[in-house]
Amino acid sequence: MTRENFIEMTVGGLTLDPVTKTPIVILKDSDNKLNLPIWIGLLEATSMATELEGIKMARPMTHDLLRTIVVDLEGSVERIEVTDLKDNTYFASIYIQVGDREITVDSRPSDAISLALRTKSPIWVAKKVLEASSVLQQVEEGKETNLSNVSRDKWAEILEKMAPEDFKYKM
C-alpha cells in the first residue's frame, strides 16, 4: 500500500438519514477537515454502536466472532482500507497478518469498520474514494470542526438538504 494514496480516518459517529431513517457512519480524518458518510445497514450500525459505547452482549455478535477467529489463529487485523467507489457502491479490504503472511479479504466497508473498531486497527480511505464522493466537505477554519460535537439536529439539518444520489452510494 502506498500511504500517499490513502488518508487515515476514524469513526466520527453514527447518525440516521432523516428521510430514509437509514444509519450512516461518518468517517473523519485526524484534522477534522475531511469526512465521509457511508450509508450502512441497521445490524452493522448496531455492531458499531455497541463497540463504540462499550456495551458487552451476552453472546458474541458476528464481528466479535470474526475478531476471536483471527486472534485464535494467532493473527491480527493490521488495517482496513476503503478502496473504491464503483457504481455507487463502496468497497473495502481487511488486511490480516498471520505470521509472515498477509491475507487480504474483500469486505463491505461496514463490516470492515466494525472489525477495525473491535481490533483497534487503523482505517484508511483511498484519496480517490474521497475525491469521488460528492459530499467530501472541507471544514473551513472558524466553523465547527469536531464532528463528535455536531448535534444530531445539526446532522439532520445537513442531511435533509441532500439527496441520496449526492452521496453516490446505494443500498
Q: At what angle do helices 109-119 and 62-72 cross, to 10 degrees?
A: 60
Say if residue 10 is exposed, middle or buried (CB neighbours under 10 Å; 0-12, 13-18, 19+). middle
Predicted local distance difference test score (pLDDT) of residue 151: 54
Domain residue extents for the chain = 3-159
Angle at 87 between CA 82 and CA 93, to 5 degrees: 20
CA-to-CA distance for 64 and 61, rounded, in angstroms? Answer: 5
Predicted local distance difference test score (pLDDT) of residue 77: 97
For residue 74 the three cell numbers come to: 494467532
- 138-157 per-position pLDDT tens digit: 433 334 444 444 555 655 66
Predicted local distance difference test score (pLDDT) of residue 18: 85
- One CATH from 3.10.690.10, 3.30.70.120, 3.40.50.300, 3.10.20.10 for 3-159: 3.10.690.10
Kind and range of the H or E run holding 84: strand 75-86
Predicted local distance difference test score (pLDDT) of residue 24: 94
- 41-96 per-position pLDDT tens digit: 999 999 999 999 999 888 988 999 999 999 999 999 999 999 999 888 999 999 99
Predicted local distance difference test score (pLDDT) of residue 168: 43
- 115-128 per-position pLDDT tens digit: 999 999 999 999 99
Predicted local distance difference test score (pLDDT) of residue 138: 40
Predicted local distance difference test score (pLDDT) of residue 3: 79
Biggest CA-to-CA distance, the chain: 49
CA-to-CA distance for 33 and 65, rounded, in angstroms? Answer: 34
Q: Residue 81 carries which side chain, given as an amino acid letter?
A: E
Is residue 132's pLDDT more than 70?
yes
- 16-44 per-position pLDDT tens digit: 988 888 999 999 999 888 889 999 999 99
